[in-house]
């Protein structure tokens, strides 16, 4: 099956007000009379108007929602309920019918909250004050405005198709593989034995006891020893107990040892926090950085929509800097300056710069110079660097290598690496700015070779922050008590596997090598298959688990790009005939055609899966 990771876009937004609904490409419909669509009698209208401005506003909202949901008959039902409130057919009189009206409107609000629907009309003040029901209309509108496209429109449609297959409906395929998120084990990537053996021993520590433990004779000695070490780190409480808010000390020490080996620079356990996947760490940092609605964070475009969604939900501003497809999905100092200057001109206080390396969704691996450029730009502007490095092991292209942000920053600070030069040889930033640079990097058990998404393990490292600042982050973490204990242990195993000479090493090394070989093979196959499609092109997939395609020429007429602030990058070519997509929008037929063609060409699963036996 296909190895392409398509995230999502959207049609241009539908806009609507209290009394009108308009949709692009369709005639504008207006309601000059808020009760015109009810089809009720003059008596009903007189009754509704007699209820005062609050009920009038509520009814206007209900009618607008009915039209938006293409359910004009619902307005008639609401009108009947109101009319029954005068003592008509509804038993229980006015009170009972008003409660029914609440239920009708709540169901309409919830129906209108789907990913493909526009934001609902605000609830009438009278109903909000009553406080009887909590619905989409009176919740925090920042949640409504947030878009998390990888679980949006196409994912919803996939659910519908799955239900149709279950009913036995005739479709041009008989199996659905969900590739909207990076979920390796869901597409049959094999779990690594060592990780699962240690986990099973942690869940049943009584089975590892010497002289009678059932697992002691079945599992290698190093597995039993590792499980016992983690069990002891919980003070004997086991993985069913909370840990310190920052996570188990033993695991944080293992992370520090990993970082020292990876970068050649030491790390401190107090600067490490174990999180529920990398996503929690990202959201925690964005929440701390965004103070007011004028605060912004620079994020790449295309980007993983976690960033834009998290920024929206805390009320901040996403400041997009574009990645150039023709330059291998990298950016430039000029592009960074453009994005920053435009944001500042609009009154935005730009507080941080996020980089994703290897790139999600672009599949590019940044060179050391490209990482240095991003760090220096952030340093020159006094911004915090947020480094998303969850795909750091997923590097496939010959000649490519992962350069951690921490290592590059330390080299810049020591003068081992020089900042890029600007006009007339001026350095991009000075030693003082580099010395003051603050960095937060993220890693996760969900990617790499481990692929254990469901364990929800992750960590963040804070570099250049004071003890007082880190203490505030720890306080925020304490509100969730701790991340999952078993997830923390998986972080420890991810950064410290069995060593050569230990009983589990040979199998561990073989399984790891097989997974990596499969990832590299599928990256090459996916790139070739996409470029073989008429009207479609794709940059080489250097890393991560994603592919971005460009749709050109006649094929472009069958799909439409998403509108800002969604996450489709439009490249700028002289003839303006070239659009870059990493989304499959609402044209499901074209999506199926692409998937079907790729399936026939390559018989692939997702990058992290295994070849289909069929």
All structural domains of the chain with their residue ranges = 15-138, 255-495
Nearest of 211, 180, 489, 545 to residue 362 by alpha carbon: 545
Identify the bridge partners of residue 354 per DSSP, sorted by sequence position: 386
- Tell me the β-bridge partners of 299: 320
pLDDT at res. 57? 59
Q: Assign 3-class secondary structure to 69-118.
A: CCCHHHHHHHHHHHHHCCCCCCCCHHHHHHHHHHHHHHHHHHHCCCCCCC
What are the 10-residue block averages of pLDDT along the chain, 614 residues in total?
32 29 38 46 56 57 56 54 46 44 49 44 45 71 71 76 88 81 78 94 82 75 93 91 90 97 96 91 92 94 87 92 91 94 95 95 93 95 95 92 97 92 74 94 90 87 93 86 92 95 96 92 88 87 86 54 35 32 30 38 36 34
Selecting from 3.40.640.10, 3.40.50.2020, 2.40.160.60, 3.30.70.2740, what CATH number does the domain 255-495 have?
3.40.640.10
Note the pLDDT of residue 369. Answer: 93
Angle at which helices 193-203 and 485-495 pack, to 10 degrees? Answer: 150
| Phi and psi angles of residue 497, each rounded to the nearest 5 degrees, phi first | -85, -175
Rounded to the nearest 5 degrees, what angle is found at the Cα of 84, between the Cα atoms of 81 and 89?
115
Contact by Cβ (8 Å): 608, 187: yes
Q: 3-class SS at 595?
A: helix
Report the pLDDT value the prediction gives residue 226, as an integer from 0 to 100. 94
Give the model's pLDDT for residue 149. Answer: 63
| Cβ 38 vs Cβ 75: under 8 Å | yes
Name the residue with tokens 């919803």. Answer: 156
pLDDT for position 304: 84
Q: How is residue 109 written in tokens?
A: 């609000």
List Cα–Cα distances, 121 to 94, 106, 449, in angstroms. 25, 12, 46
CB 530, CB 538: distance < 8 Å: yes
Query: How much is the pLDDT for 390?
Result: 93
Question: What does the DSSP 8-state code read for residue 22?
Answer: E
Locate tokens 């069929």: which residue? Answer: 614
Predicted TM-score (pTM) of the model is 0.70
444-178-494 Cα angle (round to 5): 20
What pLDDT score does 256 carry?
Answer: 97
Q: Which of 458, 446, 494 is nearest to 189 (CA)?
A: 446
C-alpha to C-alpha distances, 91 to 105, 255, 451, nearest whole angstrom: 20, 66, 58
- C-beta separation of 138 from 123 below 8 A: yes
């Amino acid at each position: 099956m296909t190895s392409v990771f398509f995230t999502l876009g959207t049609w241009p937004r539908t806009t609507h007000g209290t009394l009108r609904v308009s949709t692009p490409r369709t005639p504008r419909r207006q309601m000059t009379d808020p009760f015109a669509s009810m089809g009720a009698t003059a008596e009903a209208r007189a009754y509704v108007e007699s209820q005062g401005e609050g009920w009038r506003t509520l009814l206007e909202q209900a009618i607008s929602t009915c039209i938006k949901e293409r359910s004009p008959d619902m307005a008639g039902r609401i009108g009947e309920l109101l009319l029954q409130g005068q003592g008509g057919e509804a038993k229980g009189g006015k009170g009972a019918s008003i409660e029914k009206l609440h239920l009708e409107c709540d169901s309409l609000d919830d129906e209108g909250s789907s990913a493909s629907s526009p934001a609902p009309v605000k609830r009438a003040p009278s109903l909000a004050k009553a406080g009887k029901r909590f619905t989409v209309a009176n919740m925090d509108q920042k949640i409504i405005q947030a878009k998390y496209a990888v679980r949006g429109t196409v994912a919803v449609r996939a659910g519908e198709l799955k239900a149709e297959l279950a009913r036995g409906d005739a479709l041009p395929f008989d199996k659905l593989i969900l590739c909207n998120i990076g979920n390796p084990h869901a597409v049959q990537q094999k779990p690594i034995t060592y990780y699962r053996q240690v986990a099973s021993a942690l869940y049943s520590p009584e089975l590892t006891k010497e002289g009678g433990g059932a697992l002691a004779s079945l599992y290698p000695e190093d597995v039993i020893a590792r499980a016992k070490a983690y069990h002891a780190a919980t003070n004997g409480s086991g993985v069913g107990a909370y840990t310190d808010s920052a996570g188990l000390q033993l695991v944080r020490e293992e992370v520090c040892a990993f970082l020292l080996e990876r970068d050649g620079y030491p790390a401190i356990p107090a600067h490490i926090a174990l999180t529920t996947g990398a996503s929690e760490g990202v959201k925690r940092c964005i929440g701390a950085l965004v103070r007011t609605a004028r605060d912004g964070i620079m994020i790449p475009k295309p980007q993983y929509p976690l960033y834009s969604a998290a920024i929206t939900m805390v009320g901040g501003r996403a400041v997009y800097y574009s990645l150039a497809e023709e330059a291998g999905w990298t950016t430039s100092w000029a592009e960074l300056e453009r994005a920053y200057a435009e944001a500042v001109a609009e009154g935005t206080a730009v507080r941080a710069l996020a980089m994703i390396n290897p790139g999600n969704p672009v599949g590019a691996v940044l060179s050391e110079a490209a990482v240095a450029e991003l760090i220096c730009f952030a340093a020159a502007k006094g911004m915090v660097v947020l480094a998303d490095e969850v795909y750091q092991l997923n590097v496939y292209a010959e000649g490519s290598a992962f350069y951690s942000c921490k290592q590059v920053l330390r080299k810049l600070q020591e003068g081992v690496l020089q900042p890029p030069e600007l006009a007339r040889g001026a350095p991009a930033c000075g030693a003082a700015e580099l010395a003051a640079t603050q960095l937060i990097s993220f890693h996760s058990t969900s990617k790499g070779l481990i692929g254990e998404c469901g364990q929800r393990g992750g960590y963040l490292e804070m570099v250049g922050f004071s003890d007082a600042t880190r203490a505030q982050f720890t306080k925020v973490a304490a509100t969730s008590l701790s991340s999952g204990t078993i997830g923390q242990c998986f972080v420890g195993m991810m950064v410290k596997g069995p060593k050569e000479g230990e009983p589990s090493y040979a199998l561990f090394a073989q399984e790891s090598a097989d997974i990596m070989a499969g990832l590299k093979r599928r990256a090459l196959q996916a790139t070739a298959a996409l470029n073989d499609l008429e009207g479609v092109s794709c940059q080489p997939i250097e890393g991560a688990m994603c592919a971005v395609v460009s749709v050109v020429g006649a094929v472009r007429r069958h799909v439409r790009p998403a509108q800002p602030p969604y996450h489709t990058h439009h490249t700028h070519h002289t003839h303006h005939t070239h659009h870059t997509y990493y989304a499959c929008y609402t044209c499901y037929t074209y999506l199926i055609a692409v998937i079907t063609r790729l399936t026939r060409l390559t018989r692939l699963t997702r990058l992290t899966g295994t070849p289909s036996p069929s």
